Amino acid sequence: MKENNVFKLLLIFIIFMHFEGFLKLYFNYNPLIHGFKYIFATIFFLIWIINIKKFKTPISYPIALFSIFVLIQFLNPLMWQGKGILLSILGLFYQIGYLPLFFIGYKILNKERIRKLMYWIIGLSTISAITAHIQYMIGHPDYLSLMPYQATNFVLSHGNVYGPIAFDLIPPTTWYMAGLIFCFYFYFLNKKRFLFSILGLNLIAAILMSGLRIGMLTSAIAIMIFLTFRIKQTLTTKNVKKIAIASIFGILLLSLLFTNVLNDRQRSRYEILKNPIKAYIEKRGFTWINTGKLILNYPFGGGLRHGGVVPDLDKRFGISPLNVYTGDNYFNIVLGELGISGFLILFILFYFITKKSINNYFNINNKESRLIIAAFFSLLIIFMMTSIYGVQGLMFWLFLSIIINIPNQFEERMDEENKIIEKSATIINTKNIFKGSILNKILKTKKDNIIFEILKNSKIISFFEYIFNIFKNSKTYRIIKKIID
């Protein structure tokens, strides 16, 4: 399969994942829509397997080691004690289902395609944000009456969350965050600054109005990581002014939200943050306790299943996951599912990812390449901290391939530049020879006596003098001299 066709397929998959929530609602959670992403994943897996010899990367071994520990969980007795093999396969998909995208992205994503990928994600996230604003302006449930799907009780119960319900039941803050970071990339690259500033402010508004605390927190961390990488660029006078304006915009927007826009549910979510530690302990802190209990009972892992990701499976498929909720934090999930050994292998993988990413950043003396690493690594850190399930998994493995492959892109470009330099070396040497030549000196001088001195001291004159002396001592010269005399 040609690389360009694989890239087009990848873009189609990204578009589908963005609209997946809407399609689920439109088709009333039809199993075919649920299974469509698995079809894409299978296609990417086959592309990877068929061309596996071509897919060699600097971190293949840590990734392979982590994948082996995931697969080893199929030997876990808990996976076979009436819990259902289907649930185990689903857990396997959530862990490494999008892994082939890392190797495919490493192979096909050059700088031109990376930029196209960022354009698409900015465009999709912008559409989502604008739809969310329209939803809130129309109001709920009037907005739902305009949708082409039936507003079921399940949909209505989630309607007070700031949308867009048009695309999902919860705000797609992952898309907002990725689009925002890519707007930062183009802004710092001095590409259509005004346009990407407007798009970025629109996405900031969508993040703040989402009411999702984790989305706002992770977005803020991603921005800080990006700006830290580009600290010298960030601290310029113009950029400090822009950041100040964006901050004022955010403060004014929050004030507007609290006074006029936010519903009671969203306002209460903000007010809880007055005591964030207490709020976390009450809302999510118990998941660490759950994980601790799970490790004590199953130190080698509780199996590839996660209650928060696969709800109602006992009703749909007649199987039940372990009655333990470990939250959305990926470290918790891996500790629970893969045990202590699996968690250590994950830590080793993340260590190699972080080390390689930072080394690539500082070993490349190229602004655009550094900006690419800063943008994608800031998002990668967030996924490493939170989760690589769902669309985050798609982005995690794909973005990782871009970061790891950037040095190769840069080296290829440098090789082309070196070829040009090598071709021009002959011209440069020729210019240097000409610069020290008699002809150049003659062309530069305007006085006849200087020309004479140059000619007199030249090698050409010495050569002719040598020839003349030989001729002068010959018989022919004597005969001619006598005739002339």
Cα 348 to Cα 366: distance, rounded to the nearest angstrom: 29
Report the percentage of the chain scoring pLDDT > 70.
66
Identify which of 52, 23, 51 has the alpha carbon closest to the alpha carbon of residue 37.
23
Higher pLDDT, 140 or 190: 190
Cα 210 to Cα 163: distance, rounded to the nearest angstrom: 7
Segment 389-418 shows an average pLDDT of 77
- The amino acid occupying position 141 is P
Give the per-residue SS3 of the chain: CCHHHHHHHHHHHHHHHHHHHHHHHHCCCCHHHHHHHHHHHHHHHHHHHHCHHHCCCCCHHHHHHHHHHHHHHHHCHHHHCCCCHHHHHHHHHHHHCCCHHHHHHHHHCCHHHHHHHHHHHHHHHHHHHHHHHHHHHHCCCHHHHCCCCCCCHHHHHCCCCCCCCCCCCCCCHHHHHHHHHHHHHHHHCCCCHHHHHHHHHHHHHHHHHCCCHHHHHHHHHHHHHHHHHCHHHHCCHHHHHHHHHHHHHHHHHHHHHHHHHCCHHHHHHHHHCCCHHHHHHHHHHHHHHHHHHHHHHCCCCCCCCCCCCCCCHHHHCCCCCCCCCCCCCHHHHHHHHHHHHHHHHHHHHHHHHHHHHHHHHHHCCCHHHHHHHHHHHHHHHHHHHCCCCCHHHHHHHHHHHHHHHHHHHHHHHHHHHHHHHHHHHHHHHHHHHHHCCHHHHHHHCCCHHHHHHHHHCCHHHHHHHHHHHHHHCCHHHHHHHHHHC
Torsion sign (Cα): 251, 253, 257, 260: positive
Report the percentage of the chain scoring pLDDT > 90.
16
* pLDDT tens-place string over residues 248-284: 877 777 676 666 555 555 666 666 666 666 666 666 6
Identify which of 213, 137, 136 has the alpha carbon closest to the alpha carbon of residue 173.
213
Q: Are 294 and 323 in contact (CB under 8 A)?
A: no
Cα 151 to Cα 263: distance, rounded to the nearest angstrom: 20
What pTM did the predictor assign? 0.76
Six-digit token string for 131:
């739809």
Higher pLDDT, 2 or 149: 2
Higher pLDDT, 182 or 159: 182
Confidence at 124, pLDDT banded by 50, 70, 90: very high
* pLDDT tens-place string over residues 94-117: 888 899 999 999 988 988 899 999
Phi-psi domain of 224 (left: phi exceeds 0; alpha: psi -120 through 50; beta: other): alpha
Q: Are 166 and 22 in contact (CB under 8 A)?
A: yes
Show me where the domains of the chain are located. 3-405, 439-484
Please provide residue 457's backbone torsions phi and psi, each rounded to the nearest 5 degrees: -95, 5
Six-digit token string for 188:
């710092």
